[in-house]
Amino acid sequence: MANQLDAIFSALGDPTRRAVLERLTDEPAAVSDLHGPHNMALPTFLRHLKVLEQAGLVRTHKTGRVRMVHIEADPLAQAETWLQQQRSLWNGRLDRLDALVQQEKDVKT
């Protein structure tokens, strides 16, 4: 995937993965704990985790036989920034439209 944003947004485009992130905003958790509520085989679930990890959205470290997973705020912020930029450009456009309308009004009076 070319862009970092590709990986981030793609990762977010799956309900299982978003649910994992939602859970992780609360506190870090072990792989099995995260797996618990999701009705799928563990290896399948593990691959979702790997997608999140490769997008940089979570990090993990293993101690003993337990792997702990914690959320990483930065990539979420990146995604948010892109969206905000779109909105601000969009708003800028609306402002310019507004200005045009004003101009029209001014001409007519």
Partner DNA sequence: CAATTGGTTAGCCATAATGCTAACTAAATC
Partner DNA sequence: GATTTAGTTAGCATTATGGCTAACCAATTG
Chain residues in the site for DNA (CB under 7 A): 10, 13-14, 16, 30-32, 35, 39-44, 46-48, 51, 62-67
Write the CB contacts of 25 (distance below 8 Å, at least 6 apart in sequence).
71
SS3 state at 60:
strand
Residue 1 CB, nearest approach to DNA (Å):
7
Residues in 50-69 at the binding interface with a second copy, rule: CB under 8 A? none
Phi and psi, residue 57, nearest 5°:
-80, -25
Considering beta carbons, is residue 65 or 101 the nearer one to a second copy?
101
**Segment near a second copy (CB under 8 A); pick from 35-43, 45-53, 84-92, 100-108:** 84-92
Considering beta carbons, is residue 7 or 35 the nearer one to a second copy?
7
**Taking a C-beta distance cutoff of 8 angstroms, is the pair 32, 77 a contact?**
no
Q: Is 71 in the site for a second copy (CB under 8 A)?
A: yes
d(CA 33, CA 31): 5
